[in-house]
Amino acid sequence: MKRYILFASSLIVTALVMAQGAHDFKINEVSVSVPLCCQMQTEADSAAVCCDAGPVEGYRDEYGDMPSWIEIVNTSYSTHDIRSCYLTTNRAVLNKDLSAPERIEMMSLIPKGDARTNLEAKQRIVFFADGKINRGTLHTNFTLTPGEENWIALYDGNGVDLLDSLTVPVLEPGHSYARIYNKEQDAFVWIDATPDQVTPDAPNEFGENTDDKTAEWKKNDPHGVAMTIIAMGIVFGCLILLFVFFYIFGWILNRIAKLKRVQGIKQISEAGEKIVVMAKEGAETKGIEMENYVAAIGLALYEYMGNEHDVESGVLTIEHHATTWESKEHLMRHTPEIHHNH
């Protein structure tokens, strides 16, 4: 029974930890693909250009294509695996009356077994929305539509908990919709990032709008003086706290040891006093402690004065009663009779 309880507890704790880690995943940047005629071709190609701004260079997948892509970031400072989560562009999944299996049928699964889905602290991963799941883990079963708004949602592995969602507005070719930290608002906001600001699989940091505390610290303290003072202060503060703790702890231990020694000395002193009394009064009490001796005398006097027993006359009366048991005839052995045969 204990093993079953321990196993169930482990499963519950694991589920809670995984659920907590899943909520750290956020959609960080989205780019919608442009028509093929707008995509920059290789030098060997001579495709016509149909974009006003000329051919656009985008983020290519492992097959050399430039499909739409969705970047997800692990916002925590610990490692979490995004496997078994779901991506979708179907708003029908928002229907609360749907069961988990019905909702999962409308979504694209992030499969297990790929080391790239295990994201470390602040690490990002890019999924290609090209509708070609046969190309691997990083490809979804849906596409994003150029020239229209696209709704994207990230769901937990249970198919019920919505982790993050956003609506991507209509973007110009080569642009992306990026999540950045705004210092003035002290919050994350979404902006229309120009081609020179698009950062797939990299932090979205534009000018002063960055949540990189290290960079901000370097700017405010270029020589590291404040960092040194704070670090040394923390070290010496911890040492002082340790000294105070061990000093108080040692005083408590010494106090307990002294109390035990006092109790031991007291017991030895009491035993010595008894020995001295026995030595002085040994002849009279014959080695018995005076307290026991006095107690025995007092008990005897109490019983005597309290008349605990009946008063006897002191006269013994014996009367003779004749019985067959005292007959001498029964006490003597009979002589056997001798019979002679003729």
In this predicted model, what pLDDT tens digit does every residue of 52-83 receive, in sequence order?
Answer: 555 567 788 999 888 999 999 999 888 999 99
- Average pLDDT value for residue range 269-282: 70
More confident residue, 108 or 260: 108
DSSP-derived 3-state class of residue 288: coil
**Closest-CA residue to 302 (of 294, 310, 291):** 294
Q: Report which residue type is found at 185.
A: Q
| pLDDT interval class at 317 (50, 70, 90) | confident
Nearest CA-CA partner of 144 in 93, 91, 68, 198: 68
In the prediction, which pLDDT does 43 show?
45
pLDDT at 329: 67
pLDDT at 51: 57
Lowest mean pLDDT among 94-103, 168-177, 326-335: 326-335
pLDDT of residue 169: 95
**pLDDT at 309 (0 to 100):** 59
**CA-CA distance, 252 to 219, in Å (whole number)?**
49
Instruction: Look at residue 44 and tell me whether its pLDDT is greater than 50.
Output: no
What is the pLDDT at residue 53? 52
Q: Distance between CA atoms of 337 and 179, rounded to whole angstroms? A: 140
Residue % of the chain over a pLDDT of 70: 71
| Rounded average pLDDT over 117-125 | 93
Q: Which residue has the higher pLDDT, 14 or 320?
A: 320
In contact, 155 and 163? CB cutoff 8 Å: yes
CB-CB neighbours of 33 under 10 Å? 23
pLDDT at 215 over 70: no
Please, which pLDDT band fits residue 296 given cuts at 50, 70 and 90?
confident
Question: What beta strand segments (E) does the chain contain?
Answer: 25-31, 68-74, 80-81, 86-88, 108-109, 118-119, 124-129, 150-155, 162-168, 176-182, 187-193
Which range among 45-59, 134-148, 225-239 has the greatest average pLDDT?
134-148
Q: pLDDT at residue 208 above 60?
A: no
What is the mean predicted confidence (pLDDT) over 119-134?
94
- Answer yes or no: is pLDDT of 327 > 50: yes
Average pLDDT over residues 131-144: 94
Query: Contact at 8 Å (CB) between 28 and 179?
Result: yes
Residues of 216-252 as b/e, b for ≥16 C-beta within 10 angstroms? eeeeeeeeeeeeeeeeeeeeeeeeeeeeeeeeeeeee
Taking the C-alpha atoms of residue 304 and residue 156, their distance in angstroms, rounded to an integer, is 94
Is the pLDDT at 121 greater than 80? The verdict is yes
CA distance 57 to 40: 5
Question: Does residue 201 contact residue 126 with C-beta atoms inside 8 Å?
Answer: yes
pLDDT tens digit sequence for 165-207: 999 999 988 899 999 988 888 888 999 999 889 999 888 876 5
Contact 151, 88 (CB under 8 A): no
At 49 the pLDDT is 44
Mean pLDDT, the chain, as a whole number?
80
Is the pLDDT at 163 greater than 90? The verdict is: yes
| 33 DSSP assignment | -
What does the DSSP assignment read for 161-217?
Answer: -EEEEEEE----TT-EEEEEEETTTTEEEEEEE-GGG--TTS---BTTB---HHHHH
pLDDT band (50, 70, 90) for residue 136:
very high
Per-residue pLDDT, 181: 86
**Distant-in-sequence, close-in-space partners of 152: CB < 8 Å, separation ≥ 6:** 27, 30, 70, 87, 88, 89, 144, 165, 166, 167, 168
Which candidate, 267, 289, 293, places its Cα nearest to that of 278? 289
Q: How confident is the model at residue 281 (pLDDT cuts 50, 70, 90)?
A: low
pTM for the whole thing? 0.57
Distance between CA atoms of residues 82 and 117, nearest Å: 5
The two three-digit tokens of residue 332, written as one number: 């003597």
Q: What are phi and psi of 261, to 5 degrees?
A: -65, -40
